[in-house]
Structure 1
């Protein structure tokens, strides 16, 4: 994604990388290209499906962060100033343009400071008709920086000095140091976006009066008011959400009049609905490739699309570094032995149908940066014999049952924990099996569905946790020690292993303020080497993101299918 844009920027500091250096669209062309009013007399309707029952319609304000599909749902309802499209390019959405060096909206100063200027497009409104203003942007920044709020604070704010308002539509962010994703301000819901707009006129008062109850407001579900192409007409938990086209949408009225999002967590039921024509799109929800392929083979009226890209993530093991049990989990030789005991190629072949490679690093082979860092990956071939020798060298010996014990006769046991999702369950059981074959008494543990949003369940795992994580440069920010989920921050953060290393933190801090591409790739390579040498996160496989699409549905991208829902159409 970013490599293409690196080549577009030259100027103040050698060859610069800026996250949105694509040339700005001509305002008239963008509007004409994106508008599309339904022309037939009969209303256009579409039925899609979510596999998770959303407790909130906001991805950012979803502390558990594990209910599938919330990020895709929010893109129906909310728009930011910019959006990342299916090609990884940042486009103007509710802003007049994306800040770039070329258009003068992104300025770099010799002392390392920066400024980015934003102007809200004319006519941008909330669903209730109130205008979107800079007050909403300031309010969003205030809430997102509030450490009393149970959400992961964006690293962008570490580089923000102040925000200066010019008028109701224009403001400037003054940056104390470079930040490579400065053009993602006031955008979201996932990825590098931060300070996603919030309606000040609706939320400022309840926020000021009762922060503890802020996330319990009906606003976050059936009374949701956003800026996006669709608005909530009806929400019945565990059943469905009905969305209607937003006539005021700044990029033009959506082409489909009404979309019903059925909430179907049971895959057999979802398959029956797809085959019966009751569901026409599965825009997200972490469905497996195996399941989608089985449905596709029976579905005459639709097809399956598969995106294998950096944005779809990797499945990884997080060792516990803060409260490990047994303590040997923190021993590097032990972790290296465990990796030698896993046949990651077999996992990719058997569980992912060979559609994706094994995850040898946090950077996916489909990422443009991969070629630059590939040589820094420390590789661990599948070698069970070597794994057992390494464990023996730690003072363990195998008993009659083939399992290792220490000098006191205590069995070497480790827990492998994950959620109830099918792919994670298969990866957990496969990992457990590989480790048992190598003499480790690996014990599977499942976080029950009723605790799936309990962040403490993830943070306090004693051995290893299998989760789906971003697999691209921007996802690395979640591995900083400041993102460790601990009681002090109410267990928010994606550094599930709670790994802490001054060297690793320094590399991450440097990466996000380094703009010249060559220097950035050098630092990224050092990060990849540190991760694969120290195994603070252990990759298993990359994750394909299949979607099912009816043949009558048009303009649904394979990658990031909901970034352009106003352009979706039906024949």
Structure 2
């Protein structure tokens, strides 16, 4: 992707043109069937960081703008992308003013206005709400509804990249009238709104059965009269990646299957079924290990387990975290799990290239070096049971992830390598619908992190990682008072890191932004091993041969252009 100067060109400033297929009546192509083997558990991305929830919700609720398949910003509910050149971004870079496209309606027929945008900011920024997308609003001082079609976002300092709030599938607009009584601590209690949001997108919810199936129908108030082409949409969740692949590529039972996290030879064999095709694209999606810096002991109260007030009994030792990383053979993991659809990496942000740090030290496995490092740190096998210990503490790890064949293969290999350096490992896998679900009452979510190490992958919208890296700011940790929402699951806190984030926020020069971004990446990877990257994964999905209009997007929701999908006759 060609990098462009911020505010001056990395955007398309006019609304998306209609798709190239023949015009016709809305709903002309019947039903379309989508399969996500990690089932959605909520349709409110502000209460879940899970990709399955963000993407299913994107069919219904939309942002002012989002990113297309090349990473360009394009208007959705806005009439254009604000820039300094067109007057939408202030010369001092301390505010951005969005103009809403006229005539937009919610699916219930009521007008979409700036009041809804302003309310969305209040909802996510509420101090008791625990918004999962809070980093998008980093530095926002106020949001004002100037008139019905104009909203102004002001920042507490110059913001060369002002496109955090209301941009991308992770930051959509919710209806003020529907969510009026759902602010703060009440947010998780609004089941009807969270399961059946009123939206502006091409589809609206008919029935939502959490962790199972969503039935949708075409939004009769959608802004383009001929779209969507499908009258109904069935969004099935659950199962596993292999069953999802077969349902599209071999049997043709479904039209679209997401995240085929399968060995490449398995996918190739499925494609021989002739019913569909696999599609893939590289972006900043990284399979990694997250190290818990706090003590996850069930003997401690929840508030203590969510802060660094009680450091982890052994992962608080940098030499232990480093040794665990050194013992891993990333080349073999990539070969086993992804083949050409993966690249070994030491970086949390491997793309775009501007932000990809020259950090390759982890790529060579070093079992003997890991042993020596643990010896140096005083971790020895004092009782001869094969597990190192120190001051009565055993190097015994609970290592959890979601249920998936590739992830379980990774767990088995990593457990073996860790055993070779004297670390005992218990493996645990959880259903993805639960692990990524964000239920504040569940002990098994990745946000609560009631384990020592956990493994997963996520990514960010667009081509600028500022909000993504801001997740690790002090205070962003999930905790009881935030309804267990928050992106800093490791409970990492470094004032120097926060200061560098502040510098990134006020830096406009792209090369300088790249330099700062790489430093931030290094601080949470090679410098501290808080995050241990493994593989930069391509997004791999599949669609039926009869489904047209598919444009794989690694910079936003894969369902970003579902309004353009149609049946090939």
**Per the shorter chain, which TM-score range?**
0.7 to 0.9
> For 2:294, what is the secondary structure of its paired residue?
coil
Matched, 1:306 2:280: yes
- Partner secondary structure for residue 295 of structure 2: coil
What's the CA shift for 1:214? 5.5
Matched residue, 1:5: 4
Matched, 1:115 2:107: no
TM alignment of 1:64-463, pairs within 5 A? 65-66=49-50, 69-109=52-92, 113-190=93-170, 193=171, 196-204=172-180, 206-207=181-182, 212=186, 215-221=189-195, 223-236=196-209, 240-267=213-240, 269-271=243-245, 273-274=247-248, 275-282=250-257, 284-285=258-259, 287-290=261-264, 293=267, 296-310=270-284, 313-323=285-295, 327-364=313-350, 366-370=351-355, 373-375=356-358, 378-379=361-362, 381-398=364-381, 403-406=386-389, 411-447=394-430, 452=435, 453=437, 454=439, 457=444, 458=446, 459-463=448-452
- 1:281-318 Cα deviation digits (max 9, x unpaired): 12x356435486056334212111112211xx212212
On the 8 A contact 1:336/1:535 being kept in 2, the answer is yes
Q: Is the 8 A contact 2:549 2:566 kept in 1?
A: yes
What is the match of residue 564 of structure 1?
A: 561
Give the CA deviation at 1:228: 0.4
Out of 516, 538, 547, the residue aligned to residue 544 of structure 1 is: 538
Cα distance change of structure 1 residues 551 and 4 upon mapping to structure 2, 3 Å threshold: same
Answer whether contact 1:414 1:443 (CA < 8 A) is retained: yes
Deviates more, 1:437-446 or 1:261-270: 261-270
The answer as to whether partners of 1:281 and 1:550 remain within 8 angstroms in 2 is yes
Q: Given that residues 281 and 549 in structure 1 are in contact (C-alpha distance below 8 angstroms), is that contact kept between their aligned partners in structure 2?
A: yes
Aligned to 1:9: none
Distance in 2 of aligned mates of 1:338 and 1:42: 55
Number of positions where the alignment pairs a residue of Structure 1 with one of Structure 2: 538
Deviation at 1:342, TM superposition (A): 0.6
**Does structure 1 conserve the Cα–Cα contact (< 8 Å) formed by 2:213 and 2:235?**
yes
Q: CA distance change for structure 1 residues 449 and 287 in 2, over 3 Å: closer, same or farther?
A: closer
Deviates more, 1:325-334 or 1:336-345: 325-334
> What do residues 150-174 of structure 1 show as CA deviations (whole Å, max 9, x unaligned)?
4225234342232333211112222
Instruction: Tell me which of 449, 458, 464 is aligned to 2:453.
Output: 464
Counterpart-to-counterpart distance in 1, 2:293 and 2:212: 40
* Structure 2 counterpart of 1:497: 490
Deviates more, 1:429-438 or 1:173-182: 173-182
The answer to whether the 8 A contact 1:253-1:566 is kept is: no
Distance across 2 between alignment mates of 1:409 and 1:237: 44
Is the Cα–Cα contact under 8 Å of residues 26 and 226 in structure 2 kept in the other structure?
Answer: no
Q: Tell me what 1:10 maps to.
A: none
- Between the aligned partners of 1:542 and 1:80, the Cα distance in structure 2 is 27
Structure-2 change in CA distance of 1:108 and 1:376 (3 Å): farther
Task: Determine the C-alpha separation between the residues in 2 that align with 1:429 and 1:377.
Answer: 24
Superposition map of 1:26-65 within 5 A? 30-32=16-18, 37-38=23-24, 43-62=29-48, 65=49
- Report the Cα distance in structure 2 between the residues aligned to 1:546 and 1:334, rounded to whole angstroms: 34
Q: CA deviation at 1:251?
A: 4.2
Shift of 1:399: 6.9
CA contact 1:137–1:198 (8 Å) conserved in 2: yes
Greater shift after overlay, 181-190 or 436-445?
Answer: 181-190
SS of the aligned residue for 2:345 comes to coil
1:554 to 534, 548, 554: 548
Please tell me whether the aligned partners of residues 233 and 243 of structure 1 are also in contact (alpha carbons under 8 angstroms): yes
Structure 1 gaps, min length 5? 7-16
Secondary structure at 1:207's aligned position in 2?
A: coil
State the alpha-carbon separation in 2 of the partners of residues 124 and 485 from structure 1: 36
Tell me the CA shift for residue 428 of structure 1.
2.3
Output the TM-score relative to the length of structure 1: 0.85
Kindly state the Cα deviation for residue 254 of structure 1 after the two structures are TM-superposed: 1.6
The verdict on how the C-alpha distance between 1:447 and 1:246 changes in structure 2, with shifts beyond 3 A counting, is closer
Residue 57 to residue 80, structure 1, CA distance change in 2 (3 Å):
same
Q: Which residue matches 1:11?
A: none
Distance in 1 separating the partners of 2:481 and 2:220 = 44
Gaps of 5+ in 2: 298-311
Q: Establish whether residue 511 from structure 1 lines up as the match of residue 504 from structure 2.
A: yes
Deviation at 1:550, TM superposition (A): 1.2
Distance 2:209 2:482 in 1: 32
User: Aligned equivalents of 2:345 and 2:229: distance in 1?
Assistant: 39
Change in Cα spacing, 1:502 to 1:150, as seen in structure 2 (3 Å) is closer
- Report the 3-state secondary structure (helix = DSSP H, G, I; strand = E; otherwise coil) of the residue aligned with 2:341: coil
Say if 1:94 and 1:252 are closer, same or farther in 2 by CA, change over 3 A: farther
> CA shift at 1:436, angstroms?
0.6
Measure how far apart 1:189 and its partner are.
2.7
Whose helix proportion is higher, 1 or 2? 1
